Amino acid sequence: MKKILYSPGEPSGIGPDLIIQLCSLPFWEKIKIPIVCIADKKLIEDRALLLKQKIKVCAIDNLDSINSNKTGTIQVKEISKCRNTKPGKLYKSNAAYVLKNLDFGIDQSLNSKTALVTGPISKENIISLKSNFSGHTEYIQQRTGSKDVLMLLGSKKLKVAIATTHVPLKKVPKLITERLIINKVTILHNELVSKFKIQEPRIKLLGLNPHAGEGGKIGTEEKNVLEPAVIKLRENNINVSMPTSADTAFTSKILQETDAYLGMYHDQVLPVIKALSFGSSINITLGVPIIRTSVDHGVALDIAGSGKADVASFQEALRAAKKII
């Protein structure tokens, strides 16, 4: 049976709120694929009480015996107990709980009939337990033993991927190598074909420097690294542009001619998609042997437990997971 597992992430944030609010909406049954929440049953019950949502929480033992979604009912798979279920404040004692749930979701999603949707996590909290943790994307790569990975954020308006993810800006130039660009663009091309059914993807490669280096006058990475990578990629019939200046890459005309962008660093492309599509875009992990989508926002401690969480991105993440699976 095809199914979606939902790992709500940080229990003090809005991850639990999202599924509690969503299960009472018409969408819950209309999506027509069973959704199982990986969580402490008491956490979901406590949060529902705080949100004044009358729901039924059913603990399940076997993922093969789950039922179709029913309005007002959440199926929960308990892997670990949440030490503190109160929203709005981070508790280091919950870090292990978050990782155990995530590990279970990743491992189960190695089954081709299971997709994983993740809620927002607090890197700060998990780093207190696992010092080398840098985010969902890198952690999934490690857990699945994947050679490489690519983080993509997508919406109806555009898709953007990142060559480097959660690293300090001063380290980015040394990380941008010909091999890295070839690997990332190849993953992006292949996954646009396999997951998004785009037969001949058009990829726009952004330059690292202002004006894409202006022929080496204000940076040499484009001439020495990016352009040679593009030549080799084109030899493999991958339709990727020469390095393009980021300040003009997102004009309406270029948007219409582009299926996906590859930016060089986190804040080069994410502000663009969040300005155009925040709340309706999703995060997808590419290059790994699982289907994983996620919301486009953070833990939102300030509104956790208030009923103000917006479920739009969560809905899109679920739709994408179902479509891909």
- Confidence at residue 280, expressed as pLDDT on a 0 to 100 scale: 86
Contact between 15 and 102 under an 8 Å Cβ cutoff? The reply is no
Same CATH fold, 149-281 and 1-146+288-325? yes
Q: Mean per-residue pLDDT for 257-279?
A: 95
pLDDT at 278: 85
DSSP structural state of residue 206: B
Averaged pLDDT, 247-256: 96
Average pLDDT over residues 106-123: 95
Tokens of 177: 């190598």
Query: pLDDT confidence of 210, banded at 50, 70, 90?
Result: very high
pLDDT for 134 equals 84
* 3-state SS assignment for residue 95: helix
Domain ranges of the chain: 1-146+288-325, 149-281
**Strand 56-59 relative to strand 114-118, pairing:** unpaired
Q: Is 259 exposed, middle or buried, given 0-12, 13-18 or 19+ CB atoms closer than 10 A?
A: middle
What SS3 class is residue 57? Answer: strand
pLDDT tens digits, 278-298? 888 999 999 999 999 999 999
Architecture of domain 149-281: 3-Layer(aba) Sandwich (3.40)
Distance of CA 301 to the CA centre of its chain: 19
* pLDDT tens-digit map of 54-107: 999 999 999 988 999 999 999 999 999 999 999 999 999 999 999 999 999 999
Closest C-alpha among 266, 260, 20 to residue 163: 266
Instruction: Decide which of 3.40.50.300, 3.40.718.10, 3.30.360.10, 3.30.420.10 is the CATH code for 1-146+288-325.
Output: 3.40.718.10
- Integer Cα distance of 214 and 222 in angstroms: 9
